[in-house]
Structure 1
Amino acid sequence: PLFSIPNAQSLAPPPILSIPSGLDTLTSGLASITRLPHGVTVSADAIPSGDDADNVNNDQLTLHDLEGDMDCRSVREVMTELDLCVNIEPRFCTVPAATAPILNVESTADDATISLELKGKDDIIAFLYKTYTTSGAPPAASEQESEGMQLLNQVTQFMPSLLRFGRGIKVSKCANDAPRPEKPLILYSYEGNQFCRLVREVLTELNISYQIRSAGKGSPRRAELAKLSGGSTQCPYLVDPNMNVQMAESKDIIAYLYKTYALWTPPNGALQAASGIVTPLLKPVYAYIAPRQAGEAYDEGATKSKIEEEISSAPVVIYTYELSPFCTEATDLLDNLGIEYKEISLGLEWIPGLIAEGGAAKRAALGSMTGQTSLPHVFVNGKSVGGLFSGTPGVVPALEEGKFVAMVEAAKASTAASSMA
């Protein structure tokens, strides 16, 4: 290569992996554009698999894959162009040099099964072209590539990893060990589709094995997809034989994957990024403003007593603002977890004119009691957990540590015991 490109696995991922936002859709779309025309259209040189076979000779292909890895992406592009069905096993490594894709092949010929293992992008791609094309060779360049074209190709290979930085290269902390799908999920997909990429990233982050049934442009498999979907050939399309579920639309598929195979549905990652920057800067400002906003009539003792009464009135209590996206994400997270809670609104927002009567006093008292004046503020069994991403330790950090649900269950048991006493 003309220059060395860092592997995506060597780049530190962001701290949370969430349901894709509009920004994710945009960056995934740009990632697809940078790799055009690769991984979109079935090659005229591809050998048709036949009506009763997934691949030529009923070959079983298993790719040990990282969605965000550049070399794995190159292999998947060829998979699309050769219209292959491939079992995907997410492969996580701590050593960047060990992240090269691995392909296992089981081929049956003359009643004998032949097993083969190939390591590394170049060997795998060479094998795929030799085995699954009529010419037995990769496409010939129309003319000798210049150094400039080689450099451009290397840059475009790296761009999807940069644009989708941190996605599809690590297991999310919300990934669940049970239940795990007994049968592999089936995904109709092609590499160059921006929405398919979003689904594959989450499948990787939840460490779920699945089968890709390539359905690129010109693929005969699109007729198979149309029969399943009632006429549409839209990708992605997920089939979960374990739950007898079939669905299209990437956002619906991802919500389903989190609901079925994750411990919780992660909140918006953009909010966490914003929180990590803004909260340390504004915390001292809020601490200064809160008691002054409460006014001269502020009765700290009485307000604290009221808060003590409120946070003891239910196992889980959350203080919110009605217009705050952080508060909405927090209540959505609790709802997705199936946790009952008592919500106490302090108004629309903390700004004068939007905060409720008595809200400024409670905000000041919360700051005095816990050191936190920002909302949301969650209490479990009368004790402060904090906000969505930060606090003591915060809802998401407590979930990642495996403590939050246990805290809630203990609070519910304590409340039940008190009511029976």
Structure 2
Amino acid sequence: MLKHQMKVAQSLLSSLAEGGRGASGTPYPIQPEKKLRLYEFEGSPFCRRVREVLTVLNLDYDVYPCPKGGQRYRQEMKKLGGKKQFPFLVDENTGDQLYESQDIIHHLFKHYGHSGKTPRKYARYPKIPVAAFAGTLVNGARGVWVNQAVLQREAPKQLLELWGFEASPYTRIVRAELSELELPYTFHNVAKERWQDQGLAVLRLKPGKYIPLAGGKREQILKIMGNNVQVPYLADPNTGVKLFESADIVQYLKQQYGA
């Protein structure tokens, strides 16, 4: 438990290093008809930029983890795009395949933002992602390298499903584990939609029973989670397992898909 709490502390510092980007998003996303596919790995600062914007737009997408040393999806994305560079976005709705993080960000706002324009805050990221890189370091570089013990194992037949948002320190711990195990999954963004959503599920700024924004995405997600919106939340259609707590999820992933 102490080791896990250390992970939480490091993950929280990683979120703070990036100024908390990737926590809030629109309650009324323009979800693409066909799922976006993102080839990336958790520890990449350039991939993090894209994940932040996906949270801002509150979009769901499929993740194919490509940690360093990984074999499952690095070759697959090279066949698609011609080179091993991350992040790599495949959008079957528009027919686009994009590499550069800034190009991907412009693409996302153009097609799935309500104004069609990239906000200034996200239009000019620095060429050297110092803050995001610092976030990777303070997080112990988790999610950067593949777990060598799983290289010979086949991927599960169905994608796992994970609910969370980019800046959630608990969600980051789970994403790092999924990255190291090369486990593909659908990421359901559960961005904070207003000030009443701020805080932990059991300790929000607004006291009393949690009531999501009417018609918002969180209102729909509440039907899946039950009494409250809490992340991370993992559902594995391969086994029927459904879990909330990050420590429990990590333990399950290691036992089910690890060495």
TM range (shorter): 0.7 to 0.9
Determine the structure 2 residue equivalent to 1:173. 148
Is 1:236 paired with 2:232?
Answer: yes
Alignment of 1:132-171 (within 5 A): 132-140=112-120, 154-171=129-146
Q: Structure 1 or 2: larger helix share? A: 1
Post-superposition shift, 1:173?
A: 2.5
Is 1:125 paired with 2:125?
Answer: no
Determine the structure 1 residue equivalent to 2:29. 48
Amino acid at match of 1:132: Y
Post-superposition shift, 1:43?
A: 4.0
Tell me whether 85-94 or 33-42 shows the greater mean CA deviation: 85-94
Q: Distance in 2 between matches of 1:140 and 1:233?
A: 30
Alignment of 1:137-286 (within 5 A): 137-140=117-120, 154-175=129-150, 177-178=152-153, 180-218=155-193, 220-263=216-259
Whether contact under 8 Å (2:26, 2:56) holds in the other structure is yes
Q: TM-score, normalised by structure 2?
A: 0.78
Whether contact under 8 Å (2:67, 2:143) holds in the other structure is no
Question: CA offsets per residue over residues 130-152 of structure 1, 9 Å max, x none?
Answer: 111121112135xxx9xxx969x
Tell me: higher relative CO, structure 1 or 2? Use CA pairs within 8 A at least 6 residues apart: 2
Determine the structure 1 residue equivalent to 2:89. 103
Q: Distance in 1 between matches of 2:153 and 2:20?
A: 39
Is 1:32 paired with 2:15?
Answer: yes
Post-superposition shift, 1:60?
A: 2.0
Q: Which has the larger radius of gyration?
A: 1
Question: CA offsets per residue over residues 197-236 of structure 1, 9 Å max, x none?
Answer: 0000000000100010000101833223322222120110
Post-superposition shift, 1:162?
A: 1.2
Identity percentage over the alignment? 31
Q: Distance in 2 between matches of 1:80 and 1:181?
A: 26
Q: Distance in 2 between matches of 1:123 and 1:244?
A: 38
Q: TM-score, normalised by structure 1?
A: 0.49
Post-superposition shift, 1:92?
A: 3.7
Going from structure 1 to structure 2, the CA distance change for 1:184 and 1:215 (only over 3 Å counts) comes to same
The alignment covers a number of residue pairs equal to 222
Going from structure 1 to structure 2, the CA distance change for 1:20 and 1:70 (only over 3 Å counts) comes to farther
Aligned partner (choices 16, 35, 50) of residue 60 of structure 1: 35
Amino acid at match of 1:253: I
Post-superposition shift, 1:20?
A: 5.3
Q: Distance in 2 between matches of 1:150 and 1:212?
A: 26
Task: Name the SS for the 1:170 alignment partner.
Answer: coil
Going from structure 1 to structure 2, the CA distance change for 1:182 and 1:166 (only over 3 Å counts) comes to same
Q: Distance in 2 between matches of 1:89 and 1:243?
A: 20
